[in-house]
């Protein structure tokens, strides 16, 4: 059901400032790809472009065969903050993106997704009654309920404490197993990247571009203590440092 995401020669500038300098990423159907890189390297901009929030770019973004030139129903985006509608209960927040025409089925979809993120008892709660981790799970559910073929996540767990973050990573994986969307995840957490992703894409300093791609081989479910993951983390760290040193030399 999910579709591939193809990004080719993607360039973006804000005025005179180049933000993305020719990005090529291909994400296979149901693959999980993490993008890591220094702050300000255009990772978030990349997601905004793929989500169709900003259509001023050069290059090509395709979801399946469809060219992105505005928001697509097939593409979901989870922001860094939960961004829940404070006047809507958890159920109504989750149902926000569902088409009214779905009628009775939408209630079933909402119930299922709340179960998937373990929030069934809080269906009637208001956002102000939720903890940060719960709020972000509601946001995840809101993006999943429309069954997007491509799901984008912009540092979704970065504002949470380490324990909550690990729980939410597992919630995300459970939801991914259930809905099987193609996942493009931006993060600055290397552990998160190697734990979740099939491949980790390394971005270089501005203007952002892909400097390295590392494949994460261990099959899921993974063990966070797996030395193979630790080794990959070290490799990523070294690659990031090399990249930074290189850019310092050139500038």
Partner 1 sequence: MGKGGHQIAAPDVALRNPTAATRGRRWPSLLPWILPAVIVALWWGSVAVGIFEVFQLPPPPIVLDAAIGMWRRGLLQQDLLATTVRVLEGFALGSVVAIVLGTVTGLSLRSEKILEPTLQALRTVPTLAWAPLFILWLGIDEIPKVTLVAVGAFFPVYVNLVAGIKGVDRKLVEVARVFDLGPFAIARRVVLPAAVPDLITGLRLGATQAWLFVVVAEFFGASQGLGFRLTDSQQSTRVDLMFVAIVSLAILGKLTDSGIRAVERRVIAWRDTIGERRPE
Taking CA atoms, 234 is separated from 40, 238, 239, 245, in Å, by 22, 6, 9, 16
Told to check if 235 binds partner 1 by CB under 8 A, we report: no
Q: Which residue number, 159 or 164, has a Cβ lying nearer to partner 1?
A: 164
Q: Which is nearer to partner 1, 73 or 242 (CB)?
A: 73
* Token pair for 194: 């190697």
For residue 115, report the phi and psi dihedrals to the nearest 5 degrees.
-65, -40
| CB 57, min distance to partner 1, A | 16
Per rule CB under 8 A, is residue 244 in the interface with partner 1?
no
CB 144 within 8 A of CB 112: no
Q: How far is the CB of 77 from partner 1 (least distance, A)?
A: 5
Stretch that binds partner 1, among 16-24, 121-129, 184-192, 227-235 (CB under 8 A): 121-129
Which positions ≥6 away from 34 have C-beta within 8 Å? 185, 186, 187, 192, 193, 196, 197, 199, 200, 201
d(CA 14, CA 56): 10
Using the Cα atoms of residue 156, residue 150, residue 145 and residue 92 in order, give the sign of their dihedral: positive
| Site string (23-62) toward partner 1, x via CB under 8 A | ----------------------------xxx---------
Binding track, positions 143-172, relative to partner 1; x by CB under 8 A:
---x-----------------x--x---x-
- Size (the chain), residues: 251
CB-nearer residue toward partner 1: 98 or 202: 98
Shortest distance in whole angstroms from residue 71 CB to partner 1:
4
The neighbour count for residue 161, using CB atoms within 10 Å, is 10
Query: How near is the Cβ of 168 to partner 1 at its closest, in Å?
Result: 8
**156: enclosing H helix or E strand:** none
Q: Does 102 bind partner 1 (CB under 8 A)?
A: no
Interface stretch with partner 1, choices 32-40, 68-76, 103-111, 230-238 (CB under 8 A): 68-76
d(CA 211, CA 130): 39
Residues in contact with partner 1 by CB under 8 A are 51-53, 70-73, 75-77, 79, 81, 83, 85-88, 96-97, 118-119, 121-122, 125-131, 133-134, 137, 146, 164, 167, 171
């Amino acid at each position: 059901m999910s579709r591939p995401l193809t990004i080719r020669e993607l360039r973006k500038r804000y005025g005179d400032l180049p933000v993305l300098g020719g990005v090529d990423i291909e994400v296979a159907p149901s693959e999980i790809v993490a993008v890591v890189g220094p702050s300000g390297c255009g990772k978030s901009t990349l997601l905004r472009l793929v989500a169709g929030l900003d259509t001023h770019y050069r290059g090509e973004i395709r979801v399946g065969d469809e060219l992105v030139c505005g928001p697509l129903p097939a593409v979901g985006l989870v922001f860094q903050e939960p961004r829940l509608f404070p006047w809507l209960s958890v159920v109504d927040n989750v149902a926000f993106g569902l088409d009214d025409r779905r009628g009775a089925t939408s209630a079933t979809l909402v119930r299922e997704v709340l179960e998937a993120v373990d929030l069934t008892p809080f269906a009637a709660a208001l956002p102000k009654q939720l903890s940060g981790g719960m709020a972000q799970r509601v946001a995840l559910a809101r993006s999943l309920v429309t069954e997007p073929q491509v799901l984008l996540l912009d540092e979704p767990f970065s504002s949470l404490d380490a324990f909550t973050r690990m729980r939410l990573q597992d919630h995300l994986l459970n939801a991914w197993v259930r809905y099987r969307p193609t996942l493009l995840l931006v993060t600055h957490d290397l552990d998160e990247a190697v734990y979740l992703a099939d491949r980790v894409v390394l971005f270089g300093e501005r203007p952002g571009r892909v400097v390295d791609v590392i494949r994460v081989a261990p099959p899921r479910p993974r063990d966070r203590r797996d030395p193979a993951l630790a080794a990959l983390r070290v490799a990523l760290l070294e690659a990031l440092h090399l990249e930074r040193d290189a850019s310092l030399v050139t500038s």
